Structure 1
Amino acid sequence: MTLTRDSFFIGNQWVSPTSDRTFTLVNASTGEAIGTVPEGAEADIDAAVAAARQALVDGPWAKASPAERTDIMDRFVAALAARGEAIAQAVSLQNGMPLMVSTQLEGQFGAGVVHYYAALARGLDAPDVRPSQMGRETLVERSPVGVVAAIVPWNFPVTLALNKIAPALAAGCTMVIKPSPGTVLDSYLLAEAALEAGVPAGVLNWVAADREVGAYLVSHPGIDKVAFTGSTAAGRMIARTCGELLRPVTLELGGKSAAILLEDVDIGAFLQGVPFACLLNNGQACFNATRVLAPRSRYGEVVEALASFASSLTVGDALDPATHVGPMATAAHRERVEGYIALGKDEARLVAGGGRPKGTNRGWFVEPTIFADVANTDRIAREEIFGPVLAVIPYDGEDEAVKLANDSEYGLGGSVWSADGAHALAVARQVASGTVGVNGYMPSIGSPFGGIKASGLGREFGPEAVGAYQSTKSIYVMG
């Protein structure tokens, strides 16, 4: 299969790149090249920003009411849904996400995000009149923050793009979207859906580029806000640039979340939740609870159960519907994960996995790996590995469990597991994190998602996200 593209989507046109540089796309399950896409240069970014600026200040989008934006977004939802299967296939082919996951979270969930914000958009022009102590009243008006630079990673390229696109569209913004070089094919499907839906020219623009050109986009004088999902290290650099420019920024960054298993935990129920709460997308999800905190009284039982569970998972081609765990996204990323596994063998006790699956001599596969006797101070417990590697840490008493969970530079996800849901909820309230699950974990479209500490700034999802793409003005009516 050869999948090659030769243009960018700018101003609702398929535009030739300004350079002859390209990215080679690779099937993560085989290691084979499957095509090329153009690599953006600064001039391509300039063109995309100019198209977005034009759409913001002139034309049908600039004049559209919230209700009219809703109608456009509804058509976008339908066009995305019609491409759901193709989107899931494209993502799994490129980054190794198991098809059973990509079908749900990339092919379907993203369209649901747009549907949610389309409904919110319809009421955004409701008047906001507030009493005034010094005059008659205050009128609070909201307008689009402007042209948004959206920088999207490779692990959930569609959903994480639409998490930014949908609230930005609801608010009336325009966008330049930079996908990761490793997952670009899906962005063409999103662009085709936008074109079919009648999204006006210049509202959504896609240019794939490397980090240097991405940095140029972040600092571009035509950009009014940046929305970024990716590593904490890259997020810090973007934050520095935006801080200097006094430019609004939303950062959804890394994590090292903890799953707290309480004394009365139903281990079978926990194991059923592990694929989504701890090992989602081959361990390549920022909110995965890769630290498992188990009570010492049941520690051996938990370790044995996790080791057996990890060994039972089917590792294979991401496009095989029977696959539970696919490959790492790239050869370089597999090397990174394997480096942490080697470190873990020195720090702790390996009880499952730790190598490459037998019989797989191509693709970027790593066995699901479980380490026991891990201290919370070990590097495999402190640093984000971003692979199918879990560290099981013992604790004595719930106070210590909460202390260990909170003893991290990150604060993005996490979960608490107990046969007593009310008890688990009481413990969850003590966890220092932007989100926490009780007897499971999955972000909800209608509720704010994001982290604290080194896990980021701002929130996606929920009505709160729309405010991040708006500017507010107070008009003091004195008489």
Structure 2
Amino acid sequence: MPIDHNDFYIGGARVAPATAHRIEVRAAGTGEVAGSVPEAHPADVDAAVAAARTAFDDPSGWRTWSAQDRAETLDRFAAALTERGPETARLVSLQNGMPISLASVLEGVGPAALLRYYAAVGAAKTADDRRPGLFGGHTVVVPEPVGVVAAIVPWNVPQGITFMKVAPALAAGCAVVLKPSPETVLDAYQVGAAAEAAGLPAGLLNIVPGGAETGRYLVGHPGVDKVSFTGSTAVGRSIAETCGRLLRPVSLELGGKSAAVVLDDADLGAVMDRFFRATLLNNGQVCWLGTRVLAPRSRYAELVDAVTGMARSLKVGDPLDPATQLGPLVSERQRDRVESYIAKGVSDGARLTTGGGRPAGADRGWYVEATVFADVDNRSAIAQEEIFGPVLSVIPYTDEEQALAIANDSDYGLGGSVWTTDSDRGLAFARRMQAGSVGVNGYANDPVAPFGGRKASGLGYELGPEGLAQYQALKSIYVDQQV
């Protein structure tokens, strides 16, 4: 039975929408209607920003609380999310096709872990940063919350990415207006329910589902102090233009076309599960995946066979089945996009070694087979453009210097990985890659370390203490000791 909601979470309460417009959500695995929610229009965004503004400007409100008091509230919020974790994971899998085994971790457990992490990071700093002056006196450097944050999140890892923004923003003392993607809105109602149950102060978190127009209106809203966006590079450029004109701080985590560099001593067979997670996780719908696989010519045929075998071995099926490794794509439009890139790869002369079509028997839902191309030219469309689906391009290289040149020959610079039996060699190679984060014999976005992109992959950082700093503004207070 479809799940329908009829209100927004604004100002700590359930609020009726300003219009009758609605967002219909379809299940990725079947194409059937999964539910619907109201679509936020300007009046709804105005109400959400006003509630956030009131909460932030309250002279005795959240931003004035001690870090320890904020941490206790965030811990309660985390507990409420944990209680709802299994249902949140189910809803995400239903909507975007993420295998439930993955959703249970990233969407069911991850958000609460991020809240607890940032509660601890925020509470750990208690002493003033006092700096002796060069010419007498001293300066106290004070981090202050930046204000009302517009957080705009995508559909691929909706709750994990939501809390990469919401957790540090709240820990810093900010108030948030969250806009979920229209493809994944049902799970956002679990967040509102958890915030309500945890007693989060009214207006501190407000949720307004909507599409591109809602996002544009929110980004340019005069009541917003900071924008944090995760999504495509094209939309990120537009947001950056708006924020630049308004002189508004912005963080952008954008697209990627990362390289998975297999060095000539690698033993992929020993780490194939990790290689799968670094290249085809979440049905290929992750921005940092190593979809360009660089393999040495001396072992090229062997490694093409290994990657092809891995792709063929994946269990394709219902995203809600715990055994599924490769589920459907999020929408019919996304499936069409991926299939158009596969056709482009074939027409450009790349050699298809497996996949390229729809799985047998997948007459419902938006499935695409795990697809591997060999003999790919790094200048081709499938090697340079973000496909966002289960498509890998295996590119040959002659020596390590050429591998590095190919890896760095991209408009993007988000992630990457190096595969070798010599971790020191892998680390040395990783240091020379033009990417914000690189893995050696695996890849993970560890919450303790900053995650951000170079070049067209974005501006700013999420995760780590650096992620908290994105939601702070620094004030320097000079004290003249002569007085």
TM-score range normalised by the length of the shorter chain: over 0.9
Counterpart in the other structure of 1:189: 190
Counterpart in the other structure of 2:32: 32
Counterpart in the other structure of 1:68: 69
- The alpha-carbon deviation at position 465 of structure 1 amounts to 1.0
Q: Secondary structure at the match of 2:412?
A: coil
- The alpha-carbon deviation at position 219 of structure 1 amounts to 0.4
Contact 1:299/1:394, CA 8 A, preserved across alignment = yes
Distance (whole Å) between structure 2 residues aligned to residue 212 and residue 397 of structure 1 = 48
Counterpart in the other structure of 1:373: 375
Contact 2:35/2:186, CA 8 A, preserved across alignment = no
Distance (whole Å) between structure 1 residues aligned to residue 327 and residue 63 of structure 2 = 44
Letter in 2 for 1:402: L
1:295-337 CA-to-partner distances (Å, cap 9, x unmatched) read: 0010000111111111111111100111110000000000000
Greater shift after overlay, 284-293 or 118-127?
118-127
Number of residue-to-residue matches in the alignment: 479
Distance (whole Å) between structure 1 residues aligned to residue 18 and residue 98 of structure 2 = 32
Q: RMSD of aligned C-alpha atoms?
A: 0.9
Distance (whole Å) between structure 1 residues aligned to residue 253 and residue 179 of structure 2 = 15
Distance (whole Å) between structure 2 residues aligned to residue 33 and residue 352 of structure 1 = 32
1:408-446 CA-to-partner distances (Å, cap 9, x unmatched) read: 000000000001111111111111100000000011000
Contact 2:96/2:155, CA 8 A, preserved across alignment = yes
Distance (whole Å) between structure 1 residues aligned to residue 97 and residue 116 of structure 2 = 27
- The alpha-carbon deviation at position 60 of structure 1 amounts to 3.5
Contact 2:268/2:275, CA 8 A, preserved across alignment = no
1:385-415 CA-to-partner distances (Å, cap 9, x unmatched) read: 0000000000000000000000000000000
Q: Give the 5 Å matches for 1:240-251.
A: 240-251=241-252
Distance (whole Å) between structure 2 residues aligned to residue 207 and residue 441 of structure 1 = 33
1:55-77 CA-to-partner distances (Å, cap 9, x unmatched) read: 00115424311111000001111
Contact 2:139/2:478, CA 8 A, preserved across alignment = yes
- The alpha-carbon deviation at position 134 of structure 1 amounts to 2.5
- The alpha-carbon deviation at position 123 of structure 1 amounts to 2.9
Distance (whole Å) between structure 2 residues aligned to residue 298 and residue 262 of structure 1 = 10
Counterpart in the other structure of 2:146: 145
Letter in 2 for 1:325: L
Q: Secondary structure at the match of 2:167?
A: helix
1:270-305 CA-to-partner distances (Å, cap 9, x unmatched) read: 422122100111000000000000000100001111
Counterpart in the other structure of 1:322: 323
- The alpha-carbon deviation at position 267 of structure 1 amounts to 1.7
4+ aligned runs moved over 2 Å, structure 1: 123-126
- The alpha-carbon deviation at position 46 of structure 1 amounts to 0.2
Distance (whole Å) between structure 2 residues aligned to residue 146 and residue 216 of structure 1 = 18
Q: Give the 5 Å matches for 1:362-401.
A: 362-401=364-403
Contact 1:262/1:294, CA 8 A, preserved across alignment = yes
Q: Give the 5 Å matches for 1:114-133.
A: 114-133=115-134
Contact 1:242/1:249, CA 8 A, preserved across alignment = yes
Contact 1:318/1:327, CA 8 A, preserved across alignment = yes
What TM-score results when the alignment is normalised by the length of structure 2? 0.98
- The alpha-carbon deviation at position 476 of structure 1 amounts to 1.0
- The alpha-carbon deviation at position 143 of structure 1 amounts to 1.1
- The alpha-carbon deviation at position 346 of structure 1 amounts to 1.5
Distance (whole Å) between structure 1 residues aligned to residue 45 and residue 125 of structure 2 = 30
Q: Secondary structure at the match of 2:23?
A: strand
Letter in 2 for 1:4: D
Contact 1:276/1:442, CA 8 A, preserved across alignment = no
- The alpha-carbon deviation at position 124 of structure 1 amounts to 3.6
Q: Give the 5 Å matches for 1:323-362.
A: 323-347=324-348, 348-362=350-364
Contact 2:88/2:108, CA 8 A, preserved across alignment = yes
- The alpha-carbon deviation at position 37 of structure 1 amounts to 0.5
Letter in 1 for 2:159: V
- The alpha-carbon deviation at position 195 of structure 1 amounts to 1.0
What TM-score results when the alignment is normalised by the length of structure 1? 0.99
Letter in 2 for 1:413: G
Distance (whole Å) between structure 2 residues aligned to residue 243 and residue 376 of structure 1 = 33
Letter in 1 for 2:45: I
- The alpha-carbon deviation at position 467 of structure 1 amounts to 1.1
Counterpart in the other structure of 1:134: 135
Distance (whole Å) between structure 2 residues aligned to residue 305 and residue 409 of structure 1 = 28
Q: Secondary structure at the match of 1:43?
A: helix
Q: Secondary structure at the match of 2:3?
A: coil
Q: Give the 5 Å matches for 1:83-94.
A: 83-94=84-95
Contact 2:48/2:203, CA 8 A, preserved across alignment = yes
Letter in 2 for 1:378: S
Q: Give the 5 Å matches for 1:299-318.
A: 299-318=300-319
Contact 1:88/1:102, CA 8 A, preserved across alignment = yes
Stretches of structure 1 that go unaligned for 5 or more consecutive residues are none
Distance (whole Å) between structure 1 residues aligned to residue 157 and residue 332 of structure 2 = 18
Within the candidate set 445, 448, 456, 1:446 is matched to 448
Counterpart in the other structure of 1:164: 165
Contact 1:135/1:477, CA 8 A, preserved across alignment = no
Distance (whole Å) between structure 1 residues aligned to residue 213 and residue 97 of structure 2 = 26
Distance (whole Å) between structure 1 residues aligned to residue 419 and residue 35 of structure 2 = 44
Counterpart in the other structure of 2:475: 473
Greater shift after overlay, 114-123 or 371-380?
114-123
Counterpart in the other structure of 2:103: 102
Distance (whole Å) between structure 2 residues aligned to residue 243 and residue 179 of structure 1 = 23
Letter in 1 for 2:328: P
Identity %: 56
Distance (whole Å) between structure 2 residues aligned to residue 237 and residue 60 of structure 1 = 33
Q: Secondary structure at the match of 2:414?
A: coil
Q: Secondary structure at the match of 1:328?
A: coil
Q: Secondary structure at the match of 1:185?
A: coil
Stretches of structure 2 that go unaligned for 5 or more consecutive residues are none
Distance (whole Å) between structure 1 residues aligned to residue 265 and residue 148 of structure 2 = 51
1:53-98 CA-to-partner distances (Å, cap 9, x unmatched) read: 0000115424311111000001111111111111110100000000
Greater shift after overlay, 110-119 or 121-130?
121-130
Distance (whole Å) between structure 2 residues aligned to residue 392 and residue 474 of structure 1 = 52
